[in-house]
Chain A
C-alpha cells in the first residue's frame, strides 16, 4: 500500500490541534490552539475558511453539517457547516472540555472534560444529557460504540473505561496508561477509537503499542506493535471500512495496520518528526489527514483499502532490504535484526529516500502502472478523489512514479512464491553495529577494542584482558576505521574507502621485536575491506571484490584467492581460517551461507570446502569463531550455538541455545568466547537488546552447554546428554594432537573416565529397566576394562544371558585391540588399518586410545572396504554412533581373516567353559594375563600334537592339562614366574615365533586366544602398530 506523503501546510499556531473530514470528504476541518476552526477544500487550499470558536480549540467533530468544538471557554459549542454560523452551546463543564466525538449516526455527542466528567448530549435536544462520573483525573478522550450501546473513555488517572451509556455505569476499567495530573502533562493523548460498522474492536493506544479489546468479552484480543515505534502513540483512527487502523505517535511516525493480519501495511514519518495529535480518514479510505503539535496539516494520499497479499509480500521484501541496511543511524539498536517467529514485525515500510532500494520487480511494476496512468486508465478509486486532485499530481515532480497503489495493485503481475531474502551484511564477530557512537569493535578472548565516534573524539581504545600481553592503547581514528581484530600479536584495523581515499588496512604489530610496530596497506581502488581477521603470524582481509588477501603479520603480502561469494565474516585461530560467505540467495527469510575452513600449517589444505552452513531458519549469523581449543563454532540470531564435530564428517552439532537462558523475550546473550575445557560459553547478558552498551562496562557471564537431546528431564536422557556432550567436547584433543600441539593428557583422561563412568551408569540403569539389548549396545561403547565391570555387574544381578553376550563382546574387543599388531596377512592389514584410522579420527588421538569405544571395530573390519573412501577423506563416522546388528557378532567376528576359523572357535569355547555357569571364572580368565599353564601350553603344544595328531582341540587342552600337572612343582612355579615376568617381552617372542615361519593355523589361533585374555596397555599396542607399519 504505497502512499504519497504530501508536503505539510501551516494551519494553526503551535499547540494541540485536531482534524476531521466532512461526511462527503470534500473538506478537511482542523482546529488549533489559536481558537480557529479552518475549513480546507483541499490541502492546497490557499484560503481556508476560518471560524473563530474561542480562545483555544481543543477538539472538533463534524457530522450532518454540524460542527462541534471543545473550546477553552469551558463549553462545547456547535456551528453550522460549512457556513460556520454559531448554533448554540451543547453543554458546559466547570473547566475546559478535552475531546468531543460524534456517535455513528450523528445524533449524540460525547465530550470529556478536565473536570473528570464525560457527558453524552443529544444533538437535537441539548437538555438531554447523561453524565458519566468515575474518572479520577481529566478525561483524555472519548469514543462511541458504533452501536450506541457503550462509550469508552481514557483518563489521566491511567484508566480506560467502557461505560454503558443508558445506565451510566462502568462496564469495565483497565489500568493501562501512565498516570498524570493533566492533559498537558500526559505522555499521550490516548485517542481511543472503536471499530466502525462491526463495532467488534476497541483500539487503545498504550505506550508504543495499540491494544485491541473485543466488545462484550472485553478481552485483549491482540496488540499491534512495531519495532520502529519507540515513541508513545498519541492517536489511533480506524479506516471507514474497519479493516485498517492508522496510528500517529509522538515522534511523528504514522503507521497503517491491517488489523486482521496484524501487519503493518504502511509507515510514514512526519517530515519534521513533530508529534501527531490529530488523525482522520477520508470517508473513501484513500486519504489520511493529520495534524501535529506545531499546527501543521499533512495528508497521506493514495491509500488503498483493497490491499492484496502480493503488495504485502513485496512490502516484506522491502523490509528485508532495510533489515541489513545500516545507513539509517537513527534506528534503535536491535531494530536491524529479525525477531524470532514474527516476520510481521519486521515489515519495515520504506521512507521516500529508500525508494531506490526497491527490488527491481516492484519498481518495474510501479513504473508500468505510471505509464498506464498516462493512458488515462485510472481506476475508480482515484477518480473518487475528485478531479481537482489530478491537478495536484501534475504539480508534483515525483508524481509520475508515485501513484496510488489502488491503481497499481490490480495491475501487478502477481508473484506469490517464496521471496528472496536480502543478504546479510558483512560483520566482525564480536562487534556491535557500526552506526553506534560508542561501540565495541571487537571483544574476544584477547581483549577489547572500543570505537568512539562523537563530536569530541574519534578514537579507538584497545584494552587487553591480560595486561601481560600489552598495555592498553588509545589511538586516534583519523582514518575512520570500522573493522578491527585483535590477537596476541597484533591489532588489525580496516576502514572502508571514501571518495578520495582508498580502503586501508592498518596493523599494529605490537609484538614485533623491532622498533617499527605498524604497517599499512592501501587496497586497489574500488575494493573495500569487508571483513578482517588475525591468526598466528598472519592476517586476512576479505574484500568487496570477492577476494581474500593474506598478509604475514609483519606486512608481507602472501597468497590471495577468490571467494565463492560475498563474505559475511571470518575468524582466525592459529593456522586455521574460517570464512563464511553467501552461497546464494536464500528465500523466505533464510540465509544461504557457505563455509570454508583452511589450514595454513605445514600441510596447507582446505578442510571444509564451501559446504552450506547449517543455520536456524529465518535467522542470520551473529557470531563466528573458534573455541579456545580451536574448534570452529558459530551462533545464529536465534541464539543456537553450533560446534564443528570433526569426528562425524565435519558436521555441525548444536551445543547450546542461549535463548533458553534468557529471562525476557527481548533479552539476548552477546557471546564473546567459547571454551570446551572447561565447558563454558562466555557471554554478556543484554537486557532488552542484542548488544551491550560500552558503559557501564558489561560483565561476562558463563553459560553451560547442553545438547538438545530428547527427554533430558529423565535420568536416561540426562546421562545420554552428558555422555555425548563429553564425547563431542573432547574431540579437540584428537585434533590438537594430530596437528602437533601439546595436549592436556590429564584433562583428556579425566574426560574419558567421565564418559566411561556415565556409560556404566547408563548400563546399570538399563539393567534395572530390564533392557538387556540396550545394555549390550551401551557396552559396545565401553572400553574393555569397563566391559569387564559390566560383566561383573550383569552376573551379580543374575542376568546370565546378558553376561554371556557381554563376554563375547569383551572377547571381540580384545581381538580388536590386537588387530593392528598383526601384519602377516596383507589383506587383513589394510582392513585393520582402516578400522584403526577411524578410531584415530574418532577422537582419541594417536597416543591414547583408552577411552574410545572399540566395539565397532568388528564392524569396521567387516565393512571396511565400503567405508574406505570416507576414511581416506579424513572424515570417518564416529565409532560409537554406528548402529549394528548384534547378530553379526556371535556369528563371525572375522569372516575371512583367520584361516582355521572353526578350530579357533572351538578353542575359545574350551577356554571359556560354558559362560552361564562359569561367569566368574570367565571374568577371571578374561582379564587375567597369561597363566603359567598357558605359556607352557604354547611351548609344548607342538609336541602334544605330534604325539597325538588326531586329537580334537578340547582334547589337546585336556591332554596338556594332564601333562602340566605332571610337571614337578618347581617347574610349574618357574612357568608361573615366567608368565608374570613375560608380559613385557611377549611381543618380541611372538614376532620371533612368527619369523620362524610357523604358519600352523592352530598354533596361531591359539596364540591369539591366549592373548585375548590379556588386555595390553593400549598405547603400547598402538605404538607397536606404528612400529610394525614401518
Chain B
C-alpha cells in the first residue's frame, strides 16, 4: 500500500460544502448525495468536494477539528503524552493536505493549520520511530498500534518490515553461520 492509496481511502470521508448551483439528489452506488441547494451546506465525500471546488462550483467548509485552537490543544496533548493520543480524524493528515492544497481560500488561517498539523504529524512520527527503536532493541514480539492512523502505519511499515526481515535473515544466518563457525573452529 502506498500513500496515494491511503489518500484514495481518505477521499471517502465526508466534508461539508456550500454549493453554488442547484441539483437534485444524485443516486450513486455508494449512497445518495444531495440535494444541492445554492447556499445551503451539504455533506459530500471529499473527492466530490474537491472536484466541485476545482470547477468552482462550491465552497468547502472546513471540518470542525480543522481549527487553530483545537489543533493547538491536540498538539500540546500529543507532546505531553508518552503514548499516541487520539487524533481528530483517522485521515487528518491526508484531509489537511487535500483541503489546504485545493481549497485554502475557503479555510481561514490555512497556513497556521498546515503548520499545526505538520507539528502533530512530526511529533507522532518521532514517537513512532522511538517506539520502533525500542521495539527492536528490546526484541519484542508484538506491539500495540492504538490511535495510529493508516498513513502513519504506512510510512513505517515497508521500512520496518524490511528491516525486520533483514534482521531475521542476519540472525538466522548468524546461527547456522556460528554453528558452522564452531564446526570450523573445531
A binds B: yes
Residues on A lying within 8 angstroms of B by beta carbon are 445, 447, 464-468, 682, 695-697, 699-702
Residue of A nearest to B109 (CB): A696
Min C-beta distance of A760 to chain B, whole Å: 29
Contact A465 B38 (CB under 8 A): yes
Min C-beta distance of A674 to chain B, whole Å: 13
The segment from B15-23, B116-124, B150-158 that touches chain A is B15-23
Given A445-B39, A699-B41, 13 extra CB contacts under 8 A? A464-B20, A465-B38, A466-B22, A466-B39, A467-B21, A467-B38, A467-B56, A467-B57, A695-B108, A697-B59, A699-B16, A700-B18, A702-B40
Q: Which of B20, B22, B40, B57 contacts A682 (CB 8 A)?
A: B40
Chain A contacts for B16, CB-based, 8 A? 699
Contact A466 B38 (CB under 8 A): yes
Knowing A682-B40, A700-B39, the reply to whether A468 touches B21 (Cβ < 8 A) is yes
Residue of B nearest to A696 (CB): B108
Chain B at the A interface: mostly helix, strand, loop or mixed?
Answer: loop
Contact A465 B39 (CB under 8 A): yes
Contact A699 B18 (CB under 8 A): yes
Chain B contacts for A695, CB-based, 8 A? 108
Contact A466 B20 (CB under 8 A): yes
Chain A contacts for B40, CB-based, 8 A? 682, 700, 702
Chain A at the B interface: mostly helix, strand, loop or mixed?
Answer: loop
Bound Cα distance A251, B69 (Å):
29
Residue of B nearest to A680 (CB): B40
Asked whether B61 is an interface residue with its Cβ less than 8 Å from the other chain, the reply is yes
Contact B108 A465 (CB under 8 A): no
9 examples of A-B residue contacts, CB within 8 angstroms = A464-B38, A465-B38, A467-B38, A467-B56, A468-B22, A695-B108, A696-B108, A699-B18, A701-B41
Best-buried of A682, A695, A699, A701 by chain B (most CB within 10 Å): A699
Q: Which of B30-67 contact A (CB under 8 A)?
A: 38-41, 56-57, 59, 61
Contact A699 B39 (CB under 8 A): no
Bound Cα distance A700, B20 (Å):
13
Chain B interface bracket (under 10, 10 to 19, 20 to 34, 35 or more) = 10 to 19
Contact B41 A465 (CB under 8 A): no
Chain B contacts for A464, CB-based, 8 A? 20, 38
Chain A contacts for B39, CB-based, 8 A? 445, 447, 465-466, 700
Contact A700 B41 (CB under 8 A): yes
Bound Cα distance A951, B100 (Å):
93
Chain B contacts for A700, CB-based, 8 A? 18, 39-41
Residue of B nearest to A467 (CB): B20
Chain A contacts for B22, CB-based, 8 A? 466, 468
Min C-beta distance of B42 to chain A, whole Å: 11
Bound Cα distance A464, B59 (Å):
12
Min C-beta distance of A64 to chain B, whole Å: 55
Best-buried of B38, B39, B41, B59 by chain A (most CB within 10 Å): B39
Complex A-B, nearest 6 residue pairs according to Cβ-Cβ distance, in ascending order = A465-B39, A466-B38, A465-B38, A467-B20, A696-B108, A699-B61
Bound Cα distance A445, B22 (Å):
12
Bound Cα distance A466, B20 (Å):
4
Bound Cα distance A465, B39 (Å):
5
Instruction: Write out, one digit per residue, whether chain B residues 62-82 have a CB within 8 A of any chain A CB (1) or not (0).
Output: 000000000000000000000
Bound Cα distance A696, B113 (Å):
15
Bound Cα distance A468, B20 (Å):
8
Bound Cα distance A447, B37 (Å):
12
Residue of A nearest to B106 (CB): A697
Residue of B nearest to A468 (CB): B21
Min C-beta distance of B40 to chain A, whole Å: 6
Min C-beta distance of A699 to chain B, whole Å: 6
Min C-beta distance of B62 to chain A, whole Å: 9
Contact B108 A466 (CB under 8 A): no
Chain B contacts for A465, CB-based, 8 A? 20, 38-39
Min C-beta distance of A405 to chain B, whole Å: 49
Bound Cα distance A126, B22 (Å):
84
Min C-beta distance of B125 to chain A, whole Å: 31
Chain B contacts for A699, CB-based, 8 A? 16, 18, 41, 61
Bound Cα distance A468, B38 (Å):
10
Chain A contacts for B56, CB-based, 8 A? 467
Chain A contacts for B21, CB-based, 8 A? 466-468
